[in-house]
């Protein structure tokens, strides 16, 4: 009998990825303080938050429950960009990222039977020079809120992106390859198909087409 799986996250993107992997799971989002510590590096920050989420939720469930937690942050010159509190903060974030290459770090933390597996994957994203018109158009979509760095690469936010190096799932918030590896480290085989089509590439292609149409903005 397969152990119960709990996703310790409110993220609709992580929920969507697990659903597309045909996994049966429940959601138990943690409530923790996600403020960075003084002088904390982006990688230390994202690892700490993911582990804290997993630890908190694991305490609420049986030891034989698989608890999956993750955290994603954007970093530029060691500055941490979390989720904007409002559209004005999202505007400031995107203005800082405009025309620059930044890192997107996603940490995954898995708990099962008293055992722990943690890891981080990093991708690089180059944002195009975002005009004020394009920026205001994007903010009007309402997509910025709830996204690290104030944009969603799998949505309208792809219109802001010039290049991406690494796994797209890492930028979205849950690397399937990394998750499968961590589960394996704990002796868990959920039969995850690493070749499954998550439908992400099509969404990005459509957004890129939209970006081309917006070049005149």
Catalytic site positions: 71
Report the candidate in 70, 90, 68, 93 with the shortest Cα–Cα distance to residue 80.
Answer: 93
| Pairing outcome for strands 115-127 and 101-112 | antiparallel
Cβ count near 116 (within 10 Å): 16
Angle at CA of residue 210, ends 152 and 125, nearest 5°:
40
What SS3 state is found at 165?
A: strand
Largest alpha-carbon pair distance within the chain? 57
Q: What is the DSSP letter of 199?
A: S
Q: Which residues contact 85 (CB under 8 A, 6 or more apart)?
A: none
Q: Under a CB-based contact definition with an 8 Å cutoff, are residues 90 and 150 in contact?
A: yes
Q: Would you state the structure tokens that stand for residue 29, as one six-digit string?
A: 């989002």
Cβ count near 26 (within 10 Å): 10
């Amino acid at each position: 009998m397969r152990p119960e799986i709990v996703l310790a996250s409110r993220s609709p993107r992580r929920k969507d990825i697990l659903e597309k992997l045909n996994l049966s799971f429940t959601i138990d989002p943690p409530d923790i303080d996600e403020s960075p510590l003084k002088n904390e590096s982006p990688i230390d920050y994202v690892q700490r938050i993911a582990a804290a989420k997993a630890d908190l939720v694991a305490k609420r469930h049986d030891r034989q429950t698989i608890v999956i937690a993750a955290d994603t942050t954007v970093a530029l010159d060691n500055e941490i960009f979390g989720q904007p509190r409002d559209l004005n903060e999202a505007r400031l974030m995107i203005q800082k990222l405009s025309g620059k290459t930044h890192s997107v770090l996603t940490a995954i933390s898995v708990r099962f039977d008293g055992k722990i597996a943690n890891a981080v994957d990093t991708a690089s994203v180059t944002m195009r020079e975002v005009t004020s018109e394009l920026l205001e158009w994007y903010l009007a979509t309402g997509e910025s809120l709830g996204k690290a760095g104030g944009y969603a690469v799998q949505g309208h936010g792809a219109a802001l992106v010039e290049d991406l190096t690494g796994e797209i799932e890492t930028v979205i918030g849950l690397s399937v390859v990394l998750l499968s590896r961590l589960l394996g480290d704990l002796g868990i085989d959920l039969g995850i198909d690493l070749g499954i089509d998550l439908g992400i590439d099509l969404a990005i292609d459509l957004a890129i087409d939209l970006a081309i149409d917006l070049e005149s903005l």
